């Protein structure tokens, strides 16, 4: 029996693995990098450029898919929630967690959802939330052993929350697309 049910699922898990390696591999240098960027006053600009890039990618995807009004409204709502969270966060590292674990959550959810197309998986979103939560906990557990990092249980909650927010957002968009595809 093959490990992956499709090429898409395989690509999603590989991409997730690469993202997790990048997150874990940079744990020792992220504080220095953040300080370096903050000192040059480009950290906040960089985050907002990334947020803008994500918005452009979502816009292009919606345009390509010919998104209907409900999907556009949902995307605007999701973007607004993320923007408000970004504006409320004064600590750059927390913004980083939000971005990192939102990406992780969406990748895990997409991979599990892809698998669910071929196998009987009843609640792929719960499995995705559990996996994302475990990855976020592991992230903090590693930091316990890195001298220049601080183990912070609150970051576990934040990592999980960011992943769950992204998974819920992906579920919302997915359900809207499913409903509108039935109507067309």
Predicted confidence at residue 51, as pLDDT, reads 78
Predicted confidence at residue 95, as pLDDT, reads 81
Every domain of the chain and the residues it spans: 7-179
Predicted confidence at residue 62, as pLDDT, reads 77
Question: CB neighbours of 140 closer than 8 A, spacing ≥ 6?
Answer: 151, 152, 153, 155, 156, 159
Q: Give the rounded distance of the alpha carbon of 38 from its chain centre.
A: 23
Angle at 105 between CA 124 and CA 12, to 5 degrees: 80
3-state helix, strand, coil in the chain (%, to 5): 80, 0, 20
Predicted confidence at residue 67, as pLDDT, reads 86
Structure-token pair, residue 170: 């992906």
Positive or negative, the Cα torsion across 181, 75, 105, 4?
Answer: positive
Predicted confidence at residue 105, as pLDDT, reads 95
Helix orientation angle between 30-39 and 43-65, rounded to the nearest 10 degrees: 100
The pTM score is 0.87
Of 77, 76, 82, 80, nearest to 59 (Cα)?
76
Digitized pLDDT (tens) for each residue of the chain, 184 residues in all: 678 999 999 999 999 999 999 999 888 888 788 888 888 888 878 878 887 888 888 888 878 878 889 999 999 999 999 889 888 887 777 788 888 999 999 999 999 999 999 888 889 999 999 999 999 999 989 988 888 888 888 889 989 999 999 999 999 999 998 888 776 5
């Amino acid at each position: 029996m093959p490990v992956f049910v499709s090429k898409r699922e395989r690509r999603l898990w590989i991409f997730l693995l690469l993202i997790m390696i990048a997150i874990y591999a940079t744990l020792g240098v992220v504080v220095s990098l953040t300080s370096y960027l903050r000192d040059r006053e480009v950290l906040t600009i960089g985050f907002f450029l990334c947020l803008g890039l994500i918005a452009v990618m979502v816009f292009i995807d919606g345009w390509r898919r010919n998104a209907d009004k409900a999907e556009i409204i949902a995307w605007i709502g999701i973007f607004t929630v993320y923007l408000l969270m970004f504006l409320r966060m004064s600590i750059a590292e927390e913004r980083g967690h939000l971005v990192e674990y939102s990406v992780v959550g969406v990748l895990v959810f997409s991979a599990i959802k892809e698998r669910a197309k071929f196998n009987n998986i009843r609640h792929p979103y719960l499995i995705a939330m559990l996996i994302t939560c475990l990855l976020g906990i592991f992230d903090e557990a590693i930091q316990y052993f890195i001298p220049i990092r601080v183990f912070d249980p609150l970051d576990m909650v934040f990592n999980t929350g960011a992943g769950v927010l992204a998974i819920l957002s992906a579920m919302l968009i997915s359900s809207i697309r499913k409903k509108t595809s039935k109507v067309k």
